[in-house]
Amino acid sequence: MRSSGTVDVAALVASARQGSPRAVARLITLVENEHPALPEIMAAMASLTGRAWVIGLTGSPGVGKSSTTTMLVRAFRGEGLRVGVLAVDPSSPFSGGALLGDRIRMVDHALDEGVYVRSMASRGHLGGLSAATPQALRVLDAAGCEVILVETVGVGQSEIEVAGLADTTAVLLAPGMGDGVQAAKAGILEIGDVFVVNKADRDGADSTVRELRHMISLGDRTEPGTWRPSVVKTVALKAEGCEELVSALRKHYRHTSASGELRRRRVHRAEREVESIALARLRERMREMPNGASLPEVAERVADGEVDAYAGAQQVLDG
């Protein structure tokens, strides 16, 4: 795994493109491990990407994300679309995602060649989503997934980050949990393009819908041409409301395609992706500056009071 020589990039990309689940899995593992061949792999795939529709699903644990994902996979597969599922758990330090993998009940899709399911439990240095997540999305995109569902455990900041990765974000709530109020608190009212009140077989679904609609109406997305978030009721376990949900998601996609918002989101996403790679490289390089200008050497001089931190920073940059 250490040397890039052990990876036949061209062959791997070619098999992934032909739909080999093994090749896709291997590529995502290379992405997760930040394999040295990654730049080469991504270069080989770049021209194959940019086609997938990325749908983010987020919400508190137990609200029904996995069940909804399963329901949506079935619906999109029913249309003959190729589907990718990426389950991200940024709260877990484990990568490889056995935990989340177990949680996804996709037994009926396991043998279906048109579905890739992958979990990533890895998190980034700063506690947010791992930098690998956008690259994993690109792998699924290049492998021909027309729809990619990104499911995340709703833990604070990661919800916002998932919204940043998706073309369309669905926020899931369940009745009777005071979830509406929680939504407002957590700021997820701003990130939802479609709100899903799941477990609509339980009491209180209608009042949750009303509450959400009311809160949306109070929001500041009233400018003409701006997408007005929709609210859909579902019973994921029985696939009730599935058509309405798919149709609401599609409406958002069409709306943002037509308005140019979709492209803006994608450019913004690419900007953050490039920025994070560039910053990581810069960080590495700062440690390797010659002539006493490396970060550790400069740090010693700052600690000893020889130079101040600003001057030190300038020395590193000049190096």
Residue type, 132: A
Closest approach of ligand GDP to the CB of residue 199, in Å: 4
Helices and strands per DSSP (H, E), number in the chain: 13, 7
Please tell me whether residue 232 binds ligand GDP under the rule CB under 6 A: no
**Closest alpha carbon to 119 in 145, 80, 153:** 153
> How many CB atoms are closer than 10 A to CB 82?
19
Collect all residues with Cβ–Cβ distance below 8 Å to 19 and sequence separation of at least 6: 82, 113, 143, 144
Closest approach of ligand GDP to the CB of residue 202, in Å: 6
Please tell me whether residue 118 binds ligand GDP under the rule CB under 6 A: no
Please tell me whether residue 61 binds ligand GDP under the rule CB under 6 A: yes
Positions in 200-219 near ligand GDP (CB under 6 A):
201-202
Please tell me whether residue 65 binds ligand GDP under the rule CB under 6 A: yes
Closest approach of ligand GDP to the CB of residue 186, in Å: 15
**Closest alpha carbon to 148 in 84, 81, 104, 89:** 84
Closest approach of ligand GDP to the CB of residue 160, in Å: 18
Nearer CB in complex with ligand GDP: 59/229: 59
Collect all residues with Cβ–Cβ distance below 8 Å to 98 and sequence separation of at least 6: 119, 121
Contacts 24+ apart (CB under 8 A), 316-319: 316/286, 316/289, 318/293, 319/289, 319/290, 319/291, 319/292, 319/293, 319/294
Query: What binding mask, one character per residue, do residues 145-184 give for ligand GDP by CB under 6 A, x or -?
Result: ----------------------------------------
**Dihedral angle at the C-alpha atoms of 138, 139, 144, 145, nearest 10 degrees?**
-70
39, 50, 62, 176: which one contacts ligand GDP (CB under 6 A)? Answer: 62
**Closest alpha carbon to 54 in 182, 165, 154, 133:** 165
Please tell me whether residue 199 binds ligand GDP under the rule CB under 6 A: yes
Secondary structure letter of residue 235 according to DSSP: B
Please tell me whether residue 236 binds ligand GDP under the rule CB under 6 A: yes
Nearer CB in complex with ligand GDP: 141/151: 151
Q: Which residues are 195's β-sheet partners?
A: 171, 231
67, 130, 168, 230: which one contacts ligand GDP (CB under 6 A)? Answer: 67
Nearer CB in complex with ligand GDP: 234/315: 234
| Assigned token pair, 16 | 């992934």
Number of residues near ligand GDP (by CB under 6 A) = 15
Please tell me whether residue 235 binds ligand GDP under the rule CB under 6 A: yes
Please tell me whether residue 97 binds ligand GDP under the rule CB under 6 A: no
Nearer CB in complex with ligand GDP: 89/161: 89
63, 140, 166, 231: which one contacts ligand GDP (CB under 6 A)? Answer: 63
Separation of alpha carbons 26 and 96, rounded Å: 11
Q: Which residues bind ligand GDP (CB under 6 A)?
A: 59, 61-67, 198-199, 201-202, 235-237
